A = this chain, B = another copy of it.
Amino acid sequence: MIVREKPGPLQLLFAVRGSVLPHIAGELALVTALAAALVWLDRHVQPLPHLSATPFAVFGIALSLFLGFRNNAAYDRWWEARKLWGGLLADLRSYARALEMFLPDTQQRHQQLRLALALLHLHRLNLRRLPVDAAAARALGDNAALATAPHPPCAALDAITAGLANARSAGTLDGFGARALSARLDSLALQQAGCERIAGTPLPYVYSLLVYRTSYLYCLLVPLALLEPAGWLTPLFAAIIAYVFFGLAEVTEELAHPFGATPNALALDAICRSAEISLAPHLGEPAPEPLRPVNFRLD
> Which A residues are within 8 Å of any B CB, using their own CB?
1-4, 6-7, 11-12, 15, 18-20, 49, 51-66, 68-69, 71-73, 75, 78-79, 82-83, 86-87, 89-91, 93-94, 97-98, 100-102, 104, 149-151, 154-155, 157-158, 161-162, 164-165, 168-169, 174-180, 182-186, 189-190, 192-194, 196-197, 201-202, 204-210, 212-214, 216-217, 221, 225-226, 228-231, 233, 237, 240-241, 243-245, 247-248, 251, 253-255, 263-264, 266-267, 277-278, 280-282, 287
Contact between chains at A12 and B212 (CB < 8 Å): yes
Minimum distance in angstroms from A71 CB to a CB of chain B? 6
28 contacts between A and B (CB under 8 A): A12-B212, A12-B216, A49-B231, A52-B53, A54-B54, A55-B237, A56-B58, A57-B58, A58-B241, A66-B244, A66-B248, A86-B196, A90-B190, A91-B190, A94-B185, A97-B182, A101-B178, A102-B178, A102-B182, A149-B281, A154-B281, A155-B281, A176-B178, A201-B266, A205-B264, A207-B251, A210-B247, A217-B240
Tell me how far the C-beta of A292 lies from the nearest C-beta in chain B, rounded to whole angstroms: 12
A237 to B225, CA, bound (A): 13
Give A145 Cβ to nearest chain B Cβ, in Å.
Answer: 13
B68 touches A71 (CB 8 A): no
